[in-house]
Amino acid sequence: MSRWNKLGVNRAARIERASHVAKGKIVDATRIGDLLEQVIEPGDRVCIEGNNQKQADFLADALAHLDPAKVHDLHIVQSVLALPEHLDVFERGVASRLDFSFSGPQAARLARLLSSGKLKIGAIHTYLELFGRYFTDLTPRVSLVCAQAADREGNLYTGGNTEDTPVIVEATAFRRGVVIVQANEIVDRVPRVDIPGDWVDFVVRSPRPHYIEPLFTRDPAQISEVQVLMAMMAIKGIYAEYGVRRLNHGIGFDTAAIELLLPTYGESLGLRGKIATHWALNPHPALIPAIEAGFVESVHSFGSELGMENYVRARPDVFFTGPDGSLRSNRALSQTAGLYGCDMFIGSTLQIDLAGNSSTATLGRIAGFGGAPNMGSDARGRRHATEPWLRAGREADAGGIPRGRKLVVQMVETFREHMEPAFVERLDAWELAESAGLELPPVMIYGDDVTHILTEEGIANLLLCRNDEEREQAIRGVAGYTPVGLARDKRMVGNLRDRGVIRRPEDIGVDPAIATRDLLAARSMKDLVRASGGLYDPPTRFRSW
Amino acid sequence: MTSWYEATARQRIAGLLDPDTFAEILRPEDRITSPHLRELGAPAAFDDGVVVGRGLLAGRPVLVAAQEGAFMGGAVGEVHGAKITGLLERAMDERPAAVLLLLETGGVRLHEANAGLIAVSEIMRAILAVRAAQIPVIVLNGGRYGVFGGMGIAASLCDAIVMSEEGRLGLSGPEVIETTMGVEEFDASDRALVWRTVGGKNRYILGEAATLVSDDIAEFRAAAAVLVDAALPLDLPEVEAEHAMLRERLERFSDIGDAQEIWARLGIASPETLPILDSDTFLRVTEGKAVRRKGDAA
């Protein structure tokens, strides 16, 4: 038997070594270092639950402080590196190899550690890709995850921010790995079982609640009138045009403006019930007015958002909630919904090149990707037909057997902060790849997946372009006064406009004169709270009350 | 609904007065700019950050000055101050139904040093002269930068202050207090603390603002229309009564460290909920509870 059960035998040895540290499955927080030393072996593949929002911060800190003489050369597999501790493990020599998806807040330090040789990066993944590899060649031997509450049997309640926990635990537990949990509280009975106790080996009550970042809160006060104009163009020129009902939004102010324009501008165009009814989206506070106005039928979420708990609980017809009333999120499933169940992805970017490749990479920072690459790619495996998907497919006119296309819209002002042009001949991603020794330039959304580019100058419909030259001129045609825009071929851009490949605001009946902040359904955080009937409770940093 | 907070000085005037009745004095094309800023090579504004003129409010003649927060935070320089003082002095000749001061300012423009300080004191003297002539001077305060510094004092000299909850009124601004007294005394980054201390709602409860309105130009217009033609008396007994009122207020709340405790002591139910209430509900909840204000019968 042992010949076919080496993993199980090894697992049993680890659990046995740790038995003196634990009482049943419960481990005291002061013994966490001992536990990790007994359970983790040098060279192990370890998954720290680092999500977009919630972080197993106590366990990450404990791992980083292990003795590198005893625990070393770990291979960390982790979707998001958000905390300093996530890099301390490499700095201190506990770990040496990394496979990940996103490292936004730690991007600059990650680049420094890489160039100093403290770690090697396997690959920068999209979320679904990394999750897929958890079940093929990157299965964790030990996982360090976090939960809101646990009982003594190890049953876990993850609360609204379930995020990556099910994927990590399933991959680890069913391949004879070890699952260690930090819980904010240990209770007699969890409000609902998000992870069954027999998938969990050890539970430690963390001295303070795990860290959660409110990543998706956008203060409406910071939305500009240019963003209002672009949101009007999106609603009238794309959402209404294609009849997009199933969609995912990025997390920037551009798309927050769209959310806040649905109940005002969208309503005035008679679009309620006709667009934006089904969402793969975190519970964005900016969506509250649209939900209250009856635009939204359903929202499935990757994670939750701080302050939205009571609002979500009071709107069970809209959100996916458990029998206990709180949100059930799941990043892997929501990404799948975004990839296969949505007809459109729309989001912001930093740089677009002449082929439409879109990137948020900047020099000296290895930031990776958020949810955009999976959702912002055409699902070529898709088989079910919807009108917007079929129409986009017809516009692409590839010939042969009828196929649909996902709408992938990149929304960007021609100049971003510090007057940096958003349109460039060559993405910074190339230089970053060279300097960091990456095999691929980190492109967020590939040009051949992008269907529309929307700027304050107009909408370029790349589906209608018949060759690379047209595509380049369509992009230059909406690039405004950037060097890329000024180098346009005026005659060709004029022809593209005549053919409807480029459409200016006036071509779609959008009057820039009415694009004022008065159109926003909420202009401040307080407006959002009031729109929610007092149910939304924003974090302190967003309040003036 | 059009936001006062987000509007420019000119948009506020346009929304406040009867349509097409505003006639500007010293228009931007006259290019009356600050000589001090020119000297320093600093950017100028053709109106020096304040718009003055005359127009009609609900059919009644008024003189209006509106500070532009977007230009140097509405700070008062020599030309800027002289425009406001000149407008107030003109009121003595024209006897309008009111002078409306649409204030948004951090106080004196530091670049202009003493010239700015003198300008603010001239504004104060002119306000008192106009009031003594029984012409009401009304402050409208709901802009991004609040009303601080010497102009905070000037505002308090007027007949009435109309505020929105977004508006702020004070002498030293939050950052100045934190810098000089320390973060333990006042944490300027705690926005909730700032608004609950110097924001419109607390200023209303403390009897400093006569009216609290929503952040809507139409509501400011309606509130101002009620206040024209109704000057408060300004004589020695009135000033002494006001001083007595301020002394009484100070004694009554001197042991208190936070505005919310004042609201509780005034018998306002659920004081912790006041900051989130809309202005109508807020006025209902606080009815009869606020500290006595200027002009209230003793």
pLDDT exceeds cutoff 80 at B77: yes
* A517, A529, A534: residue with CB nearest B6: A517
Phi, psi of A425 (to 5 degrees): -70, -35
pLDDT exceeds cutoff 70 at B191: yes
Cβ of residue B298 closer than 8 Å to a chain A Cβ: no
Please state, in angstroms and rounded to a whole number, the distance separating the CA atoms of residues B130 and B95.
9
Q: Mean pLDDT throughout B258-269?
A: 95
Within 13 Å and on the Cβ side, how many CA atoms surround B283?
A: 11
Residues of B in contact with A529 (CB under 8 A): 276
Q: Which long-range contacts (CB under 8 A, 24 or more apart) does A318-327 make?
A: A318/A291, A319/A283, A322/A191, A322/A192, A322/A194, A323/A192, A324/A191, A324/A192, A326/A159, A326/A160, A326/A191, A326/A192, A327/A159, A327/A160, A327/A283, A327/A301
Cβ-based neighbour number of residue A356 at 10 Å: 24
Amino acid at A285: P
Q: Residue with structure tokens 């639950």?
A: A49
- In b/e form, how buried is each residue of A447-464, taking b as 16+ CB within 10 angstroms? bebbbbbbbbbbbbbbbb
Please state, in angstroms and rounded to a whole number, the distance separating the CA atoms of residues A339 and A374.
6
pLDDT exceeds cutoff 70 at B297: no
At residue A367, the 3 state secondary structure works out as coil
| Cβ atoms of residues A425 and A354 within 8 Å | yes
| Cβ atoms of residues B101 and B84 within 8 Å | yes
Cβ-defined contact of A517 to B195 (cutoff 8 Å):
no
Instruction: Compute chain B's Rg from CA coordinates.
Output: 19
Cβ-defined contact of A517 to B3 (cutoff 8 Å):
yes
At residue A368, the 3 state secondary structure works out as strand
- β pairing state of B211-213 and B160-164: parallel
| Cβ atoms of residues B161 and B155 within 8 Å | yes
Cβ-defined contact of A544 to B191 (cutoff 8 Å):
yes
Please state, in angstroms and rounded to a whole number, the distance separating the CA atoms of residues B47 and B32.
6
Please state, in angstroms and rounded to a whole number, the distance separating the CA atoms of residues A43 and B233.
86
Structure tokens at A540: 């302190």
pLDDT exceeds cutoff 80 at B265: yes
CA distances from A198 to A139, A155, A403, A535, B214 (A): 19, 8, 45, 36, 57
Cβ of residue A530 closer than 8 Å to a chain B Cβ: yes
Please state, in angstroms and rounded to a whole number, the distance separating the CA atoms of residues A363 and A111.
9
Residues of A in contact with B199 (CB under 8 A): 544
Q: Give the model confidence (pLDDT) of B155-177 as tens digits.
A: 999 999 999 999 999 999 999 99
Q: Which residues contact B228 (CB under 8 A, 6 or more apart)?
A: B57, B58, B60, B62, B97, B98, B136, B138
Q: Count Cβ atoms within 10 A of the Cβ of residue B288 and give its class: 0-12 exposed, 13-18 middle, 19 or more buried.
A: exposed
DSSP B207: T
**Nearest-CA neighbor of A287 among A317, A262, A314?**
A262
* B1, B6, B276: residue with CB nearest A526: B276
pLDDT value of residue B1: 80
Tell me the nearest-neighbour CA distance from B275 into chain A, angstroms: 5
Please state, in angstroms and rounded to a whole number, the distance separating the CA atoms of residues A58 and A229.
45
Within 13 Å and on the Cβ side, how many CA atoms surround A449?
A: 23
Per DSSP (E only), the strands in A373-435 are 407-411
Rounded to 10 deg, the angle between the A57-64 and A84-91 helix axes is 20
- In b/e form, how buried is each residue of A260-269, taking b as 16+ CB within 10 angstroms? bbbbbbbbeb
At residue B247, the 3 state secondary structure works out as helix
Residues of B in contact with A543 (CB under 8 A): 191-192
pLDDT along chain A (545 residues), means of 10: 89 97 97 98 97 94 97 97 96 97 93 93 96 98 98 97 97 98 98 97 97 93 97 98 98 97 98 98 98 98 97 98 96 97 96 95 87 95 97 90 96 93 96 90 96 98 97 98 98 98 98 94 95 95 87
pLDDT value of residue A1: 59
Structure tokens at A544: 């003036």
Determine which helix (DSSP H) or strand (DSSP E) holds B83, and give its type and residue range.
Answer: helix B78-94
Please state, in angstroms and rounded to a whole number, the distance separating the CA atoms of residues A385 and A223.
35
Instruction: Look up the pTM and report it.
Output: 0.89
**Which of B6, B196, B198, B217 should we substitute to test contact with A (largest number of A Cβ atoms within 10 Å)?**
B6
Amino acid at A121: I
ipTM: 0.76
Cβ of residue B36 closer than 8 Å to a chain A Cβ: no
**Nearest-CA neighbor of A287 among A532, A530, A480, A37?**
A532
At residue B12, the 3 state secondary structure works out as helix
Q: What angle do CA A526, A532, A538 make, to 5 degrees?
A: 50
| Cβ atoms of residues A506 and A278 within 8 Å | no
Please state, in angstroms and rounded to a whole number, the distance separating the CA atoms of residues B169 and B207.
12
List alpha helices for A324-426, DSSP H: 331-340, 372-375, 387-396
Please state, in angstroms and rounded to a whole number, the distance separating the CA atoms of residues B205 and B203.
6
CA distances from A153 to A148, A149, B18 (A): 15, 12, 73
Cβ-defined contact of A545 to B194 (cutoff 8 Å):
no
Q: Give the model confidence (pLDDT) of A375-431 as tens digits.
A: 999 999 999 999 999 999 999 987 889 999 999 999 999 999 889 999 999 999 999
B:185-214 residues touching chain A, CB 8 A cutoff? 191-192, 194-196, 199
Task: Check residue B267 and give left, alpha or beta (phi > 0: left; psi -120 to 50: alpha).
Answer: left
Structure tokens at A420: 């940096």
DSSP B76: B
Please state, in angstroms and rounded to a whole number, the distance separating the CA atoms of residues A148 and A380.
38
Cβ-defined contact of B276 to A523 (cutoff 8 Å):
no
Tell me the nearest-neighbour CA distance from B276 into chain A, angstroms: 7
- In b/e form, how buried is each residue of B230-268, taking b as 16+ CB within 10 angstroms? ebbebeeeeeeebeebeeebeeebeeeeebbebbeebeb
* B192, B195, B199: residue with CB nearest A540: B192
Q: Which residues contact A285 (CB under 8 A, 6 or more apart)?
A: A216, A217, A218, A305, A307, A308, A525, A528, A536, A538
Q: Give the model confidence (pLDDT) of A420-467 as tens digits.
A: 999 999 999 999 999 888 899 999 999 999 999 999 999 999 999 999
Residues of A in contact with B276 (CB under 8 A): 526, 529-530, 534, 545
pLDDT exceeds cutoff 70 at B298: no
**Nearest-CA neighbor of A447 among A434, A435, A433, A465?**
A465
Q: What angle do CA A400, A410, A416 make, to 5 degrees?
A: 155
Structure tokens at A284: 């964005």
